[in-house]
Amino acid sequence: ESVVNRIAAGEVIQRPVSAVKELVENSLDAGSTSINVVVKDGGLKLIQVSDDGHGIRCEDLPILCERHTTSKLSAFEDLQSIKSMGFRGEALASMTYVAHVTVTTITNGQLHGYKVSYRDGVMEHEPQAIAAVKGTRITIENLFYNMIARRKTLQNSVDDYPKIVDLLCRFAIHHKNVSFSCRKHGAASADVHSVATSSRLDAIRSVYGVSVAQNLIKIEASDANPYSSVFEMDGYISDSKYSAKKTTMVLFINERLVECTALKRAIEIIYAATLPKASKPFIYMSIILPPEHVDVNVHPTKREVSLLNQEVVIEKIQSTIELKLRNLSE
């Protein structure tokens, strides 16, 4: 049974960066305003995510890492929206089958916190009382220690640290009211260091730099379709003064970080057609759609999604961008 669990867990957590994504999403779901990540050996030795969220109650700790344990399923949540967010209650459990997991947490109003470690879905000992300030810290050590082939492959390729930094940059600009940091274990300075702000442009500036932020224009679209609920899009796209060899597209759909290749291509095409002298674009975009319009068509842990009425949505976004860019160049 444990081999089956391990294989299943290896599917949910495919690389260090997938573990970081799950942990950061949990911290965001816990209402955190500050999230700090520390990584050692590209995440294979250590991933530590600390937040100041609402914490985990002591009585929930024994089952925290059992599969399908989630505090986020309400009776009315439809199957579709569960699907659009990937597995439910599987992430932490999965990590305990392929790594050593330690949780330190304190809930509001408690005098002390608790520390507990897990292996293969179960607690290794009773929660131990410890001093703690606020929130939760989850430590993942020796990821894939029991999956020799996976570990070898990851050790022999470029490590995940740049991917982790890129992931946190994306979260930082979408969740502008949350401060994020990411650094290598033992490093004096952070590689991502965002300060909470109410301005999206400030968030982009603090993460991607002035040269990106000063060359952006705001884009917005909404569309009340008589047959379905509302579509809303807002974001930023670079103008002709921006310069980059590769497209950067930071896309959130229904508050989840995703990728949509068809949409990205469509934007690249309209961008090149409207600003023929410009380089590849930088795009930040947040889209809100009815959950049943978002389809995670590949694999629940993959970020790629497709949309129902994709052509309609894409055309709307294309024409919005075209109009904005044309007005600009006139």
Residues at the interface with ligand ADP (CB under 6 A): 22, 26-27, 30, 51, 53-56, 64, 69-72, 88-93, 136
Work out what residue 71 binds among Mg ion, ligand ADP, none; the CB cut-off runs from 5 to 8 Å by kind. Answer: ligand ADP
**CA 82 to CA 291: how far, in whole Å?**
9
Give the angle 4-9-10 at the CA atoms, nearest 5°.
Answer: 100
Residue 172 binds: one of ligand ADP, Mg ion, none (C-beta under 5 to 8 A by kind) = none
User: CA 311, CA 308: separation in Å to the nearest integer?
Assistant: 8
- Residue 188 CA, chain-centre distance (Å), reads 25
Q: Report in angstroms how near the CB of residue 267 gets to Mg ion at its nearest.
A: 30
Minimum separation from the CB atom of position 266 to ligand ADP (A): 31
Nearer to ligand ADP, 35 or 249 (CB): 35
Choose one: 12-20, 23-31, 58-66, 317-325; the region binding Mg ion (CB under 5 A). Answer: 23-31
Q: How far apart are CA 182 and CA 274, in angstroms?
A: 37
Specify the length of the chain in residues. Answer: 330
Q: What is the DSSP string of 99-121?
A: SEEEEEEE-TT-SSEEEEEEETT
**Contacted entry of Mg ion, ligand ADP, none for residue 72, CB cut-off 5 to 8 Å set by kind:** ligand ADP
Q: How many positions of this chain bind Mg ion (CB under 5 A)? A: 2
Residue 91 or 317: which CB sits closer to ligand ADP? Answer: 91
- Least Å from the CB of residue 262 to ligand ADP: 27
The residues pairing with 256 across neighbouring beta strands, listed in sequence order, are 253
CA-to-CA distance for 140 and 301, rounded, in angstroms?
A: 19
Q: Which does 88 bind (CB under 5 to 8 A by kind): ligand ADP, Mg ion, none?
A: ligand ADP
Contact of residue 127 among Mg ion, ligand ADP, none (CB under 5-8 Å per partner type):
none
Q: What is the DSSP letter of 43?
A: G
**265 in Cβ contact with 281 (< 8 Å):** no
| Cβ nearer to ligand ADP, comparing 90 with 160 | 90
**Residue 26 is a binding residue for Mg ion (CB under 5 A):** yes
If contact means CB under 5 to 8 A according to the sort of partner, which of ligand ADP, Mg ion, none does residue 324 touch? none
141 within 8 A of 40, measured Cβ to Cβ = no
**Half-sphere exposure for 31 (CA within 13 Å, toward CB):** 9
Rounded to whole angstroms, the Cα distance separating 72 from 192 reads 29
At 3, give phi and psi (nearest 5°): -65, -45
Nearest approach, Cβ of residue 225 and Mg ion (Å): 31
Shortest Cβ 237–ligand ADP spacing (Å): 32
Q: To the nearest whole angstrom, how small is the minimum distance from the Cβ of residue 310 to ligand ADP?
A: 27
Residue 70 interacts, among Mg ion, ligand ADP, none and using kind-specific CB cut-offs from 5 to 8 Å, with ligand ADP
Pick between residue 16 and residue 89 the one whose CB is nearest to ligand ADP.
Answer: 89
Exposed, middle or buried, 234 (CB in 10 Å: 0-12/13-18/19+)?
Answer: middle
- d(Cα 167, Cα 24) in Å, to the nearest integer? 10
- Pick the closer one to ligand ADP by CB: 54 or 163: 54
- Please say whether the beta carbons of 37 and 171 come within 8 A: no
CB of 29 to ligand ADP, least distance (A): 6
Q: Which of residues 72-91 bind Mg ion (CB under 5 A)?
A: 91
Which positions touch Mg ion (CB under 5 A)? Answer: 26, 91
